[in-house]
A and B are shown apart, each in its own frame.
Chain A
Amino acid sequence: AQKVTQAQTEISVVEKEDVTLDCVYETRDTTYYLFWYKQPPSGELVFLIRRNSFDEQNEISGRYSWNFQKSTSSFNFTITASQVVDSAVYFCALSEEEGGSEKLVFGKGTKLTVNP
């Protein structure tokens, strides 16, 4: 069965610090997708990134970067020079195809608090 583990329940940093959110996944599929979503206090889930299982290149988008390593089944997310607006719950998710629809399996989320 597919599973996503976000071992860090809560992280608290001071503004401008770098922070890495860990995500480890389990799947038997050879083709799959990994995602990160941000959920600010307002509740809406904001899509951040999608990575397919055949693309292990790391990606950088502004202050955000992602490190995908199939060898360790990890898809970690780093925020550089964190800001107060980065405070949110971050979810890592894995897609599985079941019955023709792509379901998402979510981790339990990591609550990030960035203090001024």
Chain B
Amino acid sequence: GAVVSQHPSRVICKSGTSVKIECRSLDFQATTMFWYRQFPKQSLMLMATSNEGSKATYEQGVEKDKFLINHASLTLSTLTVTSAHPEDSSFYICSASKGETQYFGPGTRLLVL
């Protein structure tokens, strides 16, 4: 199998606080993980590629200081939304690569008040 978990599944926070989202590959090791953002009724937008042991590669227009990514081990990548604002409210989904296939986590719904 290829199971990916995310924690938390949903989070509500106040504007200005930071939120950390964890992505874990449970039954395989993943040197590469990806972070996506999805707005309601829209497709997935790739934010960054997370490589174990090196700096993440961010897509154009994604603020690296705003969305901090750490891929500390072969089974864990974290996304920290720093100083969150209401416009950061969204559905964040991670994926982990196993061979040529990306397996996705269940997503995290972030609501910033």
The residues of A with any CB-CB pair to B shorter than 8 Å are: 33, 35, 37, 42-47, 50, 52, 91, 95, 99, 101-104, 106-109
Can you name 28 A-B residue pairings with CB atoms under 8 Å?
Answer: A33-B100, A35-B101, A43-B93, A43-B106, A43-B107, A45-B44, A45-B93, A47-B2, A47-B101, A47-B102, A47-B104, A50-B101, A52-B100, A91-B43, A95-B100, A99-B57, A101-B49, A101-B57, A102-B97, A102-B102, A103-B46, A104-B46, A104-B95, A104-B102, A106-B43, A107-B43, A108-B42, A108-B43
Nearest neighbor of A37 in chain B, beta-carbon distance: B104
Interchain nearest-CB distance for B41 vs A (Å): 8
Given A99-B57, A101-B51, A102-B97, A109–B102 Cβ distance below 8 Å? no
Cα(A108)–Cα(B65), bound, Å:
28
Cβ-defined contact, B103 with A42, below 8 A: no
Cα(A35)–Cα(B109), bound, Å:
25
Cα(A43)–Cα(B2), bound, Å:
17
The residues of B with any CB-CB pair to A shorter than 8 Å are: 2, 32, 34, 42-44, 46, 49, 51, 57, 91, 93, 95, 97, 100-107, 109
Cα(A106)–Cα(B105), bound, Å:
16
Interchain nearest-CB distance for A55 vs B (Å): 12
Interchain nearest-CB distance for B25 vs A (Å): 14
Cβ-defined contact, B101 with A44, below 8 A: no
Nearest neighbor of A104 in chain B, beta-carbon distance: B102
Nearest neighbor of B33 in chain A, beta-carbon distance: A101
